[in-house]
Structure 1
Amino acid sequence: MALVLAAVVGLLLVWRRRLTDNGEVEPWTRVAWVGVGTSVVVGGLAIAAALQVATVRAGPVYGLAGGSATVSVRVRIDGDPILKQSTTSRRPPYVVVKATVEEVRSRASGQSSTSVRVRTPVLLIGTAKWKDVRFGQHVDASGRLERVDSGGEVAAMLSTRSPPRIVDAPPWWLRSAERVRAGLRQAVAHEPDDVRGLVPALVMGDVSGVSAELNADFRITGLTHLSAVSGTNLTLLLAFLLPLARLIGVRARGLTVVGVLTVVVFVVLARPQPSVLRAAAMGLIALAAMTGGGGQRRAVRSLSVAVIVLLLLDTSLARSAGFALSVLATAGIVLLGPGWRDALARWLPGWLADAISCPLAAQLACTPIVAWLSGQVSLVAVVANLLAGPTVGPATILGFVAAGVALLSAGLARIVGWAAGWPARWIILVAREGADLPGAESAWPATVFGVAVLTLLCLALVFGMHRILERPIAMILATVVLAVVVLRPIGTFGWPPRDWLFAVCDVGQGDGLVLRAGDGTAVVVDTGPDPAAMDRCLKDLGVRHIPVVVLSHFHADHVGGLAGVLSGRQVDEIEVTPYFSPRAEYDRVMELAGHSGAEVRTVAFHERRVVGQVSWTTLWPAKVPALPQAGTSSATSTDEGSPENNASIAMMVEVGGLRILLTGDLEPESQRAVLASGAELRADVLKVPHHGSARQDPAFIAAVNARLAVISAGRDNDYGHPAPRTLDLLSHNTTRTATTNVSGSLIITNPNNRLSLATRSSEAVG
């Protein structure tokens, strides 16, 4: 293959000399150049992919993983450890971190141990004790190797229950960078929580302190690149720093030196991980596109070369959504930004034309991929980036200064950190207020057809945008239309129905239920796993006051979104199950309740409550199992039949003439107990227990005899919810079924005592 490519390149060089008399390349030669050049690139990528697969599989690690071998290894930590919580399993928190195995020791049956030196990338999964390992350290560990999907960037997964045994410290330059990072964190330690998390993220990509709520707001407003290492972030930093250097007299090569030093410092502080190096490359290319004098053509060539080289070095990037977004954003800035800037500059100041054209081009280029990944399209991203962009540079520069000063004086660093906090406050304000707008983002089907349609719409905008931007009246009209869509002064265009009574929010793999108690008032039952999804649903419903939040049990897929419910709303009371397990989630709920001022009370068996238009009777739990001892697990590996599920709050709700039975995650054991209690279970609507799992008691389902069953489950979830067996059971009971994993959020109304179900497509069942 290599010889063929060499021959093709040789022929190409010969053809290049065949010029016409006027010195221009013949058309057929130009076509040949393009075709052969494409073949060379594709062939090179194929060879690189084969070499990468061979490299990953070289050595004993891949083979040992195929046999699930237990090994002792020495690894080099190649990333920051990420502490994760399981959403439904009762397993304790665990750590995921990238590492490279440099030595592997294994012992075969009846033989002595063998040691082999290797360089094999793995994904290490360990206990919470691994959360303190540092980038660049060498660590000894023992665990089990398991195979991963082929074609990835790692050869195996190493699962270990042993604590890390530190061999040595990171290299001196990484230790120095860590001291600077620690100094910056200390410099902003006395700032508000969001500021304390955002400034290190801006300066060095340290996102450990950025809250889930702020991340969600950044995602909605298209500012995610600010809370992580990205090419756009580095571009904004350079775009602020180089004009400042020019202002103090730096010229020509001096500007190049300033830019290169900035990139080097940025890479060292953020650590030379692949994402950081990609960000540096894309940031420099994007900056080149905004310079005059033929810079666009050079930037296009630079972007093409950078993409090819990066793919040759790591072909797995071809499957990386982050890489695709980075390339598309840079391509948008390179190809569209200059022309749009010139169009705007006909009637706007140059600095404002730059500020508008850059985020507009990047956002439009990335929109189809963002919709594919999230099922949402941000309508405020351009404005949010326009408002936040001017303060990114000052916040980052002051953060850099604070980090450096911290090595000399903690007190002086705190003053500089305080100054860096003010522009960071503005960025946070833009994100918060932008995400709170009624039409900040719009749902879009994440299907092949949906993304194809959106791509065609974006291409139509690309071809028509220049004409819009160069005409002030067209721009004003477009801005007014966008403002109407985002602010929704005339309502939410039919969603939700004005007479809604019960909403099953699309929160992914979890439950998030809302019962209308009055105008702007609702009772919330469970909050799903994602604060952003629950917050968005409540915004769509116009809920501002929540007298009671009922948490059926303390699994994360039912309480993880509590912060989203509490965000910007008055919550009076949180009602919880008396089974306070798992303890970590219970403690988190109590902490959030304490911060919000909401009272926490434990539900009582058979109590009846009335809140506005909603009334309910608690049917379960009647008895509470003994809590597990510390350090033990109360659930099976699959969570079926777990005490937490069986201690779920079950309640018969009456609202707007409907009877609705809410069941949490009750398993058949508790379903039979509720049935045996003699309670009247007949209901119009049944919230099917445990996301429609296969474990349902047929007698319980028959006793409810619901006209409509609703199931809240995540799209393509790993649990097979809802189970075909459960759907068949409901069908045999002549119960119609609606699921969030198919239809998204579900709204139930009862006009003229006729039960109706509405989805985004306004489907209804009687």
Structure 2
Amino acid sequence: MTRRPAAGAAEDLTRDLDLRLLVPALAAWAVSAGTLALHPAGLVGLAAACLVTAALVLRWARVSLPLAAIALVLASTAGHAAAREAGPVRELAREHAMVELTGVVTKDPVVVGGQRLDGATVRLVLRVDEVSGRGRRSSVATPVLVMGDATWQRVHWHERIAVKGTLLESEPGDDVVAALRPRGEPRSLSRPGAVARVAEHLRAGLRDAAAPLPPDARGLLPALVIGDTSHTPPDLTDAMLATGMTHLSAVSGSNVAVILAFALGGASLVGVRRPWRPWVAVTALAGFVVLARPEPSVVRAAAMGAIGLIGLSRSRRTAGLPVLSAAVVVLLLVDPWLSRSYGFALSTLATLGLLLFTRTWGEAIGRRLPRRIRSWGPAIAIPVAAQAMCAPVVVLLQGSVSVVGVLANLLAAPLVAPATIAGVAAAAMAPLWPFGARLLCWVGALPTLGIAKVARTCATIPGGTLPWPDGAAGALLLTGVTLLLLLSGRWWAHRARGHPVLAAGVIVLVLAGAAPTSAVTWPPEGWRFVACDVGQGDALVLATTPGHAVLVDAGPDPTTVNACLRRLHVRVLDSVVLSHFHADHVDGLPGALAGREVREILATPVREPAYQWSQVQALARSRGIPIRDVVAGDHLSWAGVTGDAWWPARRIAAGSVPNNASVVLAVHSGPVDLLLLGDVEREAAHALLLQLRRDPAMTAEAAGFDVVKVAHHGSGNLDEGLMAEVRAPLAVVSVGKDNDYGHPSPKALEVLRRNGYAVLRTDQRGDVAVVTVGDDVGVTWRRR
């Protein structure tokens, strides 16, 4: 008599089989990501070698199956690469040729870096089918990234267009062959197809129906349903990033799972027979994909959402891992460049975590809950499993670990489904009954506002986000820590139960050493000056009275300057001084003005670039804020702070006119004396040096500075004589990490070192603060 294995043994055997099927998919993924930059011929050679080796070791399935999967993906990558590289686009890009392209828009226009005062920077992908350049016309099938201005926001998905511009070569392995800087506006050749027009009509209807909602709901509801984040408030985006909730504002597997669950549940309630319910789910899924646009990211989300639902189904639970493994390979065959996509990695890892851990962790959590809520265990386990699996990839994106991410996602999870369903229903109803769609949007606004409240509240929890090494090293470190906890967690829990006092002491010590103190010590007591970490730009804050300050320049991004002012508890800006009108000093102005009283704007009289001056003027006029000029010789005074304008004394045509027209301020704040040099270049700096030498009062003042804000982010285009004349104990360089300009330059750092300055950089230190205790002056900083 044959003995049947016990249920547990059978489950273990199935799990082993599932894991064996997962290995080929992961191996193919890894090899694909590492070989995308190879020539198609090299890819074919590798695929053939893997296939031959797999045939030789066919009897050892654990080796042959991964090799076969790798061979398939490599062969597919070679075919895709050969097709897209065929034609002259790569060669024309190497020559930076002026070309005319004709093609179809395959990815929606996306505004990069937020709304900028100098016009939006828009990116989209064009599948080029015809290129004209260097006197010849060719038919191709090549993806090209288009980097345009605000006019490109009018382009529609799947619209056929023609455009002229300069081609730039992309990096090997990128998902596009070249980039195009367009000259002029796009010319529409044909409208999108019927499916695309229907999708756009539904999306526009949802946006219109959501327009009357409060700002948070108006931004989040379309984001939850169709991934449209264009109206999401910047500070809410920051809060969702800090709490690990950004996946909610993109079309992801969780959205798809909600739609499928609702369709299946609704079909059951209205009496649809079981054999027909999958067809109802497929129809609902197809409709959602059309609404969200069948782009690669949406198709990926649809696949992962369906797999996740299979994994949670009791009758099909063991099929989850094989289906996920097959889906990974198939998606890589269709689009090999997904192997380097963060979105693909996050979707796959989240689904894998759900399949591997939700059941066991849910049962374990349920056993520790009160009897009435024991069934909540799996619901709690889902975000925990997803967070554990995705955390190493998230570190690559933001360089920090969210401690409150699990809590925030747990609190938001019950609100996602009703908001998503209401939004999808509103989009479907909008063309037929706009008033009903608006009512549905108000229904969806309630849970959406709850999601926003969760994000904002959890983002303010002290120590909610821990700094972590970014890049590959940080990801590998967090992966190791996660694996250690998964593999030895039970052992550590057992040891902790046996020695509770020792365990509690270790936990307290770890928390004390790891928790950032800036949450409770920032802003530092007695702060007089802070150079905000706003990336490649300037945003300098001078304290006046409690809650009041003077802002010198506003940085390149509204979100970062707003966040810095909030950290400093600044509610009123007595003045905003704009040293000049370049984007990295004025584009953040909307964020500085957001929710604050601003009494005046002081600015250089040189109104260049003219388009940015007009934007600043319009923004000030809309808020009723007066603007007045600052020139050399002006004396400025605020509560506890005075400033003397040393420059501009005249217009300098050499070099950069706007930079050389920067307002230069000698500031006195209690015992602290500062020199803020704006972005003056060598010409203006030397003129300032000569003026300083002619004026005994300025000469005497120059000998007493405590801090010099280095000009132009540490550019090498400086006047060494001026830096020697105004030497101070501390030089602050406001500069962006890994910027494209090479700032601060080795020359500037050498000049500062030679003249005895201690250099603090915002890209290395974060916010840099000068503080006073009595008459003593010190410096501290708040790391990223």
TM-score, normalized by length of structure 2?
Answer: 0.83
Of residues 67, 81, 86, the one that matches 2:95 is 67
What is the CA-CA distance between 1:241 and the residue it aligns to? 4.8
Deviation, structure 1 residue 722 = 0.3
Structure 1 residues 613 and 298 mapped into 2: Cα distance closer, same or farther (>3 Å)?
Answer: farther
> Distance between the aligned counterparts of 2:581 and 2:532, measured in 1?
19
Whichever residue aligns with residue 381 of structure 1, its letter is G
Q: 1:308, CA displacement in angstroms? A: 2.1
**Correspondence 1:309-328 to 2 at 5 A:** 309-328=330-349
Q: Check the 8 A contact 2:462/2:520 in 1, yes or no.
A: no
Partners of 1:490 and 1:722 lie apart in 2 by: 29
Identify the residue that residue 678 of structure 2 maps to in structure 1: 664
Runs of 5+ consecutive residues of structure 2 not aligned to the other structure: 1-44
Q: In structure 1, the residue corresponding to 2:544 is in which secondary structure? A: strand
1:586 deviates by: 4.5
SS in 1 for 2:451: helix
Matches within 5 A, 1:282-361: 282-293=304-315, 295=317, 297-348=318-369, 349-350=373-374, 352-361=376-385
Percent sequence identity over aligned pairs? 41
1:174 match: secondary structure = helix
Please tell me the residue identity of whatever aligns with 1:615: T
2:657 to 611, 631, 643: 643
Q: Match for residue 621 of structure 1?
A: 648
1-side partners of 2:137 and 2:740: how far apart? 38
Aligned to 2:167, what secondary structure does the other structure show?
A: strand
Matched, 1:556 2:577: no
Match of 1:409 in 2: 433
Question: Does residue 426 of structure 1 match 2:454?
Answer: no
Equivalent residues of 2:734, 2:763 under 8 A apart: yes
Residues 347, 472 of structure 1: 8 Å contact kept: no
Code of the aligned partner of 1:423: P
Give how far 1:601 is off: 5.0
Per the TM alignment, residue 664 of structure 1 is displaced from its structure 2 partner at its CA by 1.6
Deviations 1:665-701 (A, max 9, x none): 1222322333344333331111101100111111221
Deviation at 1:542, TM superposition (A): 4.7
Aligned to 1:654: 668
* Contact 2:50–2:70 (Cα < 8 Å) also in 1: no
For residues 571-590 of structure 1, what are the structure 2 equivalents within 5 Å?
571-583=598-610, 585-586=612-613, 589=616
- What corresponds to 1:38 in structure 2? 66
Aligned partners of 1:145 and 1:158 also within 8 Å: yes
User: How far apart are 1:188 and its partner, in Å?
Assistant: 1.8
Deviations 1:698-747 (A, max 9, x none): 12212211111111111111001001111111122122212222333323
Name the CA distance, whole Å, in 1 between partners of 2:395 and 2:665.
37
State the Cα deviation string for residues 525-549 of structure 1 (Å, max 9, x = none): 2332233433443444454554443
Partner of residue 25, structure 1? none
Hey, what's the Cα distance between the residues in 2 that align with 1:86 and 1:693?
26
CA distance in 2, matches of 1:327, 1:697: 54
Q: For 1:338-737, list aligned pairs within 5 A.
A: 338-348=359-369, 349-350=373-374, 352-463=376-487, 492=519, 497-567=524-594, 571-583=598-610, 585-586=612-613, 589=616, 602-603=629-630, 605-623=632-650, 641-677=655-691, 678=695, 679=698, 680-682=701-703, 683-737=705-759
SS of the counterpart of 1:64?
Answer: helix
Residue 564 of structure 1, CA deviation = 4.0
Match of 2:274 in 1: 252
Deviates more, 1:736-745 or 1:446-455: 446-455
| 8 Å CA contact retained: 2:118, 2:612 | no
Tell me which residue corresponds to 1:198: 220
Pick closer, same or farther for the CA change 1:337–1:589 going to 2, 3 Å. Answer: farther
CA distance in 1, matches of 2:74, 2:204: 43
- Structure 1: how far apart are the matches of 2:617 and 2:401? 34
CA-atom RMSD in angstroms: 3.7
Measured at CA, do residues 195 and 624 of structure 1 come closer, stay the same or move farther in structure 2, by a change above 3 Å? farther
Give the superposition deviation at 1:127: 4.8
Rounded to whole Å, the distance in 1 between the matches of 2:706 and 2:753 is 15
Structure 2 distance, partners of 1:606, 1:465, is: 68
- Aligned equivalents of 2:618 and 2:277: distance in 1? 50
Number of residue pairs matched by the alignment: 722
What is the CA-CA distance between 1:360 and the residue it aligns to? 1.9
Q: Is the 8 A contact 2:118 2:583 kept in 1?
A: no
Distance, in Å, in 2 between the alignment partners of 1:408 and 1:300 is: 42
Q: Which position in structure 1 is the counterpart of 2:246?
A: 224
The TM-score, its normalising length taken from structure 1, stands at 0.84
The alpha carbon displacement at 1:402 in A equals 1.7
AA partner of residue 73 (structure 1): L
Aligned to 1:144: 166
Secondary structure of the 1:78 match is strand
Query: For 1:468 and 1:155, how far apart are their aligned partners in 2?
Result: 51
Using a 3 Å threshold, how does the CA distance of structure 1 residues 691 and 702 change in structure 2: closer, same or farther? same
**Distance in 2 of aligned mates of 1:316 and 1:535:** 36
Offset from partner CA, 1:212-252 (integer Å, 9 cap, x none) = 33322221222212222222332344445544544444463
**Do the aligned residues in 2 keep the contact of 1:578 with 1:624 (CA within 8 Å)?**
no
1: distance between equivalents of 2:733 and 2:517? 32
Equivalents in 2 of 1:8, 1:138: separation in Å? 45
- C-alpha contact 2:166 2:183 (8 A) present in aligned 1: no
Partners of 1:206 and 1:181 lie apart in 2 by: 9
Q: Where does the alignment leave 5 or more consecutive residues of structure 1 unmatched?
A: 16-31, 109-113, 626-634
- Separation of aligned partners in 2, 1:525 and 1:377: 32
CA deviations on 1:85-108 (whole Å, 9 max, x unpaired) are 7999x9865542201111233453
2:78 aligned with 1:50: yes
**What whole-Å deviation, never above 9, does each CA across 1:23-58 have from its counterpart, x for those lacking one?**
xxxxxxxxx322222222333333333333322211
User: Counterpart amino acid of 2:394?
Assistant: V
Of the structure 1 ranges 455-464 and 377-386, higher mean CA displacement relative to structure 2 is found in 455-464
| 3-state secondary structure, aligned to 2:157 | coil
Partner of 1:24: none
Tell me the SS of whatever aligns to 2:737: coil
Q: Which amino acid aligns with 1:160?
A: P
Question: How many angstroms does 1:603 deviate by?
Answer: 4.0
- Name the CA distance, whole Å, in 1 between partners of 2:152 and 2:206: 23
Secondary structure of 2:107's counterpart equals coil
Residue in structure 1 matched with residue 35 of structure 2 by the alignment: none
Which amino acid is 2:380 matched to? Answer: I
Q: Would the aligned equivalents of 2:51 and 2:67 in 1 still touch at CA under 8 Å?
A: no
Q: How many angstroms apart in 1 are the aligned matches of 2:660 and 2:421?
A: 54
Q: Spell out, residue by residue over 1:457-514, the C-alpha distance to the aligned partner (whole angstroms, 9 max, x if none).
A: 333443466799999999xx99x999x99xx999736555444433222221112223
User: Which residue identity does 1:371 align to in structure 2?
Assistant: V
2:157 — aligned with what?
Answer: 135
